[in-house]
Amino acid sequence: MHMADALISPAVGGAMWAVTAGLMAWCARKVKEAREDRLVPLMGVLGAFIFTAQMINFSIPGTGSSGHLGGGLILAIMLGPYAAFLVIASVLTVQALLFADGGLLALGCNVFNLGFFPSFIAYPLFYQLIAGKDRVGARAWCASLAAAVLGLQLGALGVVVETKMSGIAELPFKTFVLIMQPIHLAIGIVEGLTTATVVAFVARARPEAMELGICGQKGRLGPVLVGFLAVAAILGGLTSWFASTHPDGLEWSIEKISGKEEVAGSQDSVHARLAGVQAKTALLPDYGFKGAQAEPFSGVQTAAVEDTWPVVKAGTSVAGIVGGLVTLALTLLIGVVLKAHMGLKKD
């Protein structure tokens, strides 16, 4: 559901940048007020985990499409909504700058769609009300499914509305909605099951790590941090080879309407300049070495890729490891800055 700049006008992109920046400032203030020292390393490690998890596209049976974990709900459950929003913003920023995954003009839209809805709508209004204090039982599983589906549905609708408001892509609103919502319903179900599994495992193994930013439970988080880092390394360095080669839900929807996975978009100076910036910052475009054949994450399907699945490429592994480390560093930097401005309490 990473939007490209071709879908977004400068006016809409700029407005969503402003909205997202305001939300980030508000969330930063809330995280500072929490004054929880242990939140910082957990934010960094979970950021690396979500980055690598998003590399694993899974096929949606019978559609020719694929989806990937958004991760916003997992972050909200474990960190609280404010820290979760900052982490998902870090993940998406790294993806846009280093890997050209999602446009720079559309970055505000992407952060809002993938961060705001799960953190501030799905999590408090569905997950908390349904699950209560349960993190491992039937209520928690139902809450994860309901909240994940809601978050994905609202995010997908956000994509359609932002595209319509921009008015530069010839994608009929009604048709776009009718295609986007069902495919993201399927993706939301997988997201919900994955969220419930991760949360239940951590809740059983290290309950002190749950909702750290809210309830401030005491306990050692070292095993949790090491565990998530190990999983992130495996996902980025190895499991990413097995990602689906099918286009993701957004690309698939665009192809169903226009016959192409991408739209031409605008050729104005704003789009051109930002495309030039992204071309310079994207050291591993499309999650691979520059000049290499398109990786599975781009949604570009070729016979060579499909015939050789899993796609064993050094560039994919390097992208996964580098991306995870950069996300870890960026998220830790945010935490350190917040800590420097208002000391966070220690155990």
| pLDDT digits 0-9 by tens, 187-226 | 999 999 999 999 999 988 877 777 554 444 455 678 888 9
The answer to whether residue 346 is domain-embedded is no
Q: What is the mean pLDDT of residues 40-44?
A: 90
pLDDT (tens digit per residue) in 244-287: 989 999 999 999 998 887 787 777 889 999 999 999 999 999 99
pLDDT of residue 304: 40
What whole-number distance in Å separates Cα of residue 194 and Cα of residue 80?
A: 18
- The whole-number pLDDT of residue 223 equals 82
For residue 300, pLDDT over 70 is answered with: no
Give me the pLDDT at residue 23, please.
97
Q: Give mean pLDDT, residues 150-176.
A: 95
Query: Is position 286 within any domain?
Result: yes
100 lies in some domain: yes
Over residues 52-62, mean pLDDT: 94
Q: How many domains does the structure of the chain reveal?
A: 1
181 occurs within a structural domain:
yes
Q: Is the pLDDT of residue 301 over 80?
A: no
Assess whether pLDDT exceeds 70 at residue 79. Answer: yes
Q: Would the pLDDT of 346 be above 80?
A: no
47 in a structural domain: yes
Q: How many CB atoms are closer than 10 A to CB 275?
A: 17
- Find the mean pLDDT for residues 134-153: 95
Q: Is residue 287 in a domain? A: yes
pLDDT at 330: 95
Res 290: pLDDT? 84
Mean pLDDT over 2-30 rounds to: 95
pLDDT at 232 over 70: yes
Residue 33 has pLDDT above 90, yes or no: no
Q: Which range (73-77, 122-126, 338-342) has the least confidence?
A: 338-342
Domain CATH code at residue 96: 1.10.1760.20
Residue 99 pLDDT exceeds 90? yes
In a domain, 347, yes or no: no
Does some domain include residue 18?
yes
> Domain span at residue 312?
5-341
